[in-house]
Amino acid sequence: MSVIYVLLAISICVALVFFVAFVLSVKKGQYDDAYTPSVRMLFEDELVETTSEKNNQSKSQTK
């Protein structure tokens, strides 16, 4: 039954890993601004779209 010591050690280690991850994320400022990243996430690949759009626009202008 001494396996319980091993299990306890493992479970606490896993828990500590998550705790440290939490502390680090707070330290990096992830909780300071909870809104902007949610918007920024949606913008990641807009560059391609805008170039094509610009082309469309310049075409329509030349018409």
Site for another protein contains 24 (CB under 8 A): no
Provide CB contacts within 8 A for 25, sequence distance 6+.
31
How many chain residues are in contact with another protein, going by CB under 8 A? 32
Q: Are 61 and 53 in contact (CB under 8 A)?
A: no
- In this structure, the dihedral spanned by the alpha carbons of residues 8, 13, 16 and 21, taken in order and rounded to 10 degrees, is -150
Q: Which of 7, 10, 17, 46 binds another protein (CB under 8 A)?
A: 46
Contacts with another protein by CB under 8 A lie at 1, 4-5, 8, 12, 15, 19, 22-23, 26-27, 29, 31-36, 39-40, 42-43, 46-47, 49-51, 53-54, 57, 60-61
